[in-house]
Amino acid sequence: MSEQFKGQVAIITGAASGLGLAIAKKLHAEGIRVAMLDLNQDATQAASQEVGENAAAFPADITDEAQVGSCIAQIGQRFGRIDILVNSAGVTGRTNVKSHEVELADFRRVFEVNVVGSFIVSPGASFTTGFTFDLTGGRATY
């Protein structure tokens, strides 16, 4: 285990399964405290217990600004800081169909989770790190 990240706090979206869970396990093994966000409350809780003592479940719909804001506040209160954000939540929608056969509702859901969800979580997670986004100027500042 490297000491480089020990004691830091990571938020991981989509952390109940797949790539998000694998990332949570790896970061936890490196000494990082892990805040695990996912839509499925039971799966998120089980995953956080699987990851270990310094992991906590925060069930949330990342497309809902109020839920994300509440989670960020809870994470800040619990861990006192946020150092790392991994936007791993994602859905594929209906697969193995021709693009002209995709229903608009399905496309919108995929876009909401995969793009808008990351957009909502990113600025909220930055407030405890001193990292800010200037979306109009296309730059980030510390």
Residue 13 confidence (pLDDT) above 90: yes
- Residue 107 is assigned to a structural domain of this protein: yes
Cα–Cα distance, 48 to 110 (Å, whole number): 25
- Residue 27 is assigned to a structural domain of this protein: yes
Please list, in sequence order, all residues whose beta carbon lies within 8 angstroms of the beta carbon of residue 61, skipping any fewer than 6 positions away. Answer: 39, 67
pLDDT range class, residue 99, cuts 50, 70, 90: confident
- Residue 48 is assigned to a structural domain of this protein: yes
- 11-31 mean pLDDT: 96
- Contacts of 102-110 with CB under 8 Å at 24 or more apart are none
Domain of 63, CATH number, reads: 3.40.50.720
pLDDT over 90, % of the chain:
66
- Residue 3 is assigned to a structural domain of this protein: no
Which pTM was predicted? 0.83
- Residue 4 is assigned to a structural domain of this protein: no
Per-residue pLDDT, 136: 44
- Residue 58 is assigned to a structural domain of this protein: yes
Alpha carbon separation from 52 to 14, 35, 36, 47, 83 (Å, rounded): 17, 11, 11, 9, 19
- Residue 1 is assigned to a structural domain of this protein: no
DSSP-derived pairing of the beta strands 9-13 and 139-141: unpaired
pLDDT range class, residue 139, cuts 50, 70, 90: very low
- Residue 2 is assigned to a structural domain of this protein: no
Domain count, the chain: 1
Per-residue pLDDT, 23: 96
What is the extent of the structural domain holding 38? 9-141
Per-residue pLDDT, 97: 86
